Chain A
Amino acid sequence: MLSRVADSLFWMSRYIERAENITRILTINFNALLDMPMVDAAKSWRPLLAISGDLSLYEDLYPEINVRNVMDYTLWHVGNPNSVINCIVRVRENARSVREQISSEMWEHLNRLYHHLRSMNRDATRRSPHEFFTIVRDGSHAFQGITNTTMPHGEGYEFIQLGKYIERAGMTLRALDSKYATVNALPEGLPEASLHLIALLKSCSAFEAFRKSNGSQLQASRVAEFLLLSSEFPRAVRFCLQHCLDSVNAISGKESDVIRTVPDRQTPQRLFGKLNAELEYLDMQDVLDQSLVDYINDLFARINAAGDTITRSFFSTQVILPPPRGMAALQQSHQQQQQQQ
């Protein structure tokens, strides 16, 4: 597979996942605000703006933080690189550039989603974004299903999985990060804490799954453990990283009639392998004894580093051949010149 194609598939997948994730992050606050009228709306939007976009850019563009402006910025603004519409545009551009690698059904679905969002009444979505959220989320889910059933599960498919899960792992971490500190600061047993945790779980579509595995115990530490370490729930960090490793293994495992160009290809396998091993044997209590927030930030950085090795190993277009015969000769001739001087 062409490096550029793999790159586009990866980012196509990341951007649709990101579009979905942004609507999920916005949902956290949207629902929480409805349930908790006493919360300072402006204050509660700030951390979410920081996650889903660029807060300082927002402040340059809008005089105040309110739902209307936040929706305008996060859904529609062309200047916001992570606005949902920009993500969808990039999904489509990436898909278009690899049109022959994905199934017609995948392309038609993305194209339809794009045209559908573009045709929506923007003002209405600024006031009431639920329909917009639903279209994006269903659109992303349907895309996963269509991909699963219409595209050969070969190399290209693995890059799509890789993009999806690496993006999703990051999102779950960020969502957890945004709420955990708030909840932890509240006195135990306050209904507000529960409301925050329910909003967090629902934003990850995890509320029902959490209930099934944890019964009625709605504690911050349990929610954190579930979202970090579940190996069964598809938005949990560990689940995502397991799938990243599977895809990386599938991609790296095959041989073919090519000239190898990048010497060390083990790096993504090694980094994802280490992350998986760590999460597999992680004791949640150890983390909580230290600082969960620090741990999340550290994990986030390491996932990004693993993501960078994917770029270097598979997408880089720089060709580094085994050293040509003359490299030694070049050094020699320099030496000779110096001896003569």
Chain B
Amino acid sequence: MRLQIEHMTKFEYDMPITEAYTEVRMRPLNDSSQRCQSFELVTAPDLNEFRYTDRFGNDVRFFDLISPHQALILTAISEVYTPASYFLPQPDLSPLDLHDYLMASPLVPLGPALHAFGQSHKIVSARGEIDVRATALALMTATNHVLKYKSGLTDVSTKADQALALGGGVCQDFTHVMLAACRSIGISSRYVSGYLYVELNNRQPNDPDPDLATHAWVDVYLPNEGWISLDPTHNCEQGERHIRLAVGRDYTDVPPTRGVYKGNSKEQMKVRVRVFK
């Protein structure tokens, strides 16, 4: 499916601030399954833009605005072709990926409760080996059942064990809980940040608020094969409505924007995401 995304972020300050540095991870990923046709980032004021590719393969743009200012507006416009169903072939993982996608990370601790949750949905084949695909699908459904979608219950720094204990949260928390469960039982998995296309007259309760946020779900690694992608918030596999932006160990590796500035002013951030067919 061909989709267009307009992602606007507006930072406002009640007093002038200086030396603002911003990093942006908003360019849709380009891989053998999803194709990013075009991407443009517009800043107001117009700033010199720089880029690099981070260790997870994500495209990062960054810029500075050091003179005093009270507003900064970023608009990311992308055009992307999404597959009907997603699969990314990758016969083996590097030693670092093997380590990173299996170990605890800042927001995905592997405590006893999460381990027990993972263990209780483990599906073992007749030969006594874990069936990764079936287990991952079971964990997706289980996560979807054990957590209730509710915004305001958690925030960006809520960890997987806290979300599990609270019994709810937003897509970020669903994703962290499922990641922790997978990793606890030896399944390599990673965080996916992205968008979800929702027709305006067809919104479901679990769909992201188009004025607030991006979406998140889970990539699971099938040994010797590659990545499948599962959305525990909607209890479905990644489909043509999912747009992939960035991957990492957890949210801390992939925030759409990250910034620092100097000044004693309060920052107000407004985000508006629109996805069109």
Contact = CB atoms under 8 A, between A and B. Distances in A.
A–B in direct contact per CB < 8 Å: yes
Interface stretch (B40-48, B219-227, B240-248): B40-48
A328 to B, nearest CB: 9
Contacts of B43: 326
Contact of A324 (B18, B19, B45, B71): B45
Interface of B: 18-19, 43-47, 65-68, 71, 73
Contacts of A320: 67-68
A319 B45 contact: no
Given A324-B45, A329-B46, 12 more contacts: A318-B68, A319-B18, A319-B67, A320-B67, A321-B66, A321-B67, A324-B67, A325-B45, A326-B46, A326-B47, A329-B45, A330-B71
A337 to B, nearest CB: 11
A327 B19 contact: no
Nearest to B18: A318
A320 B66 CA distance: 7
Contact of B19 (A319, A323, A330, A333): A319
Contact of B47 (A318, A323, A324): A324
A333 B73 CA distance: 10
A336 to B, nearest CB: 11
Given A319-B18, A319-B19, A330 B67 contact: no
B88 to A, nearest CB: 38
B44 A324 contact: no
Nearest to B45: A326
A106 to B, nearest CB: 33
Contacts of B71: 330
A323 B46 CA distance: 11
Nearest to B66: A319
A333 B75 CA distance: 13
A330 B45 contact: yes
A321 B64 CA distance: 12
B239 to A, nearest CB: 36
Interface of A: 318-321, 323-327, 329-330, 333
Most A Cβ at <10 Å: residue of B18, B45, B46: B45
Given A319-B66, A319-B67, A320-B67, A333 B44 contact: yes
Contacts of B66: 319, 321
Given A319-B18, A319-B19, A324 B68 contact: no
Contacts of A319: 18-19, 66-67
A329 B65 CA distance: 15
Nearest to B16: A318
11 contacts: A319-B19, A319-B67, A320-B68, A321-B67, A327-B45, A329-B44, A330-B44, A330-B45, A330-B71, A330-B73, A333-B44
Contacts of A330: 44-45, 71, 73
A325 B73 CA distance: 15
Contacts of B45: 324-327, 329-330
Nearest to A333: B44
A94 B56 CA distance: 46
Given A318-B18, A319-B19, A325 B67 contact: no
B48 to A, nearest CB: 9
Contacts of B67: 319-321, 323-324
A255 B50 CA distance: 30
A326 B48 CA distance: 10
A325 B46 contact: yes
Contacts of A329: 44-46
A327 B44 CA distance: 8
A330 B45 CA distance: 5
Most B Cβ at <10 Å: residue of A320, A327, A330: A330
A324 B19 CA distance: 14
Contacts of A323: 67
Identify the 3 closest CB pairs spanning chains A and B, nearest first.
Answer: A326-B46, A326-B45, A330-B45
A169 to B, nearest CB: 33
A120 to B, nearest CB: 42
Contacts of A318: 18, 68
Contacts of B68: 318, 320
Nearest to B72: A330
Contacts of A327: 45
Contacts of B46: 324-326, 329
Nearest to A332: B44
B173 to A, nearest CB: 35
Contacts of B19: 319
A330 B44 CA distance: 5
Contacts of B18: 318-319
A324 to B, nearest CB: 5
Nearest to B71: A330
A333 B44 CA distance: 8
Contacts of B65: 324
B82 to A, nearest CB: 31
Contacts of B73: 330, 333
A330 B46 CA distance: 8
A324 B68 CA distance: 11
A180 B43 CA distance: 63
A229 B45 CA distance: 53
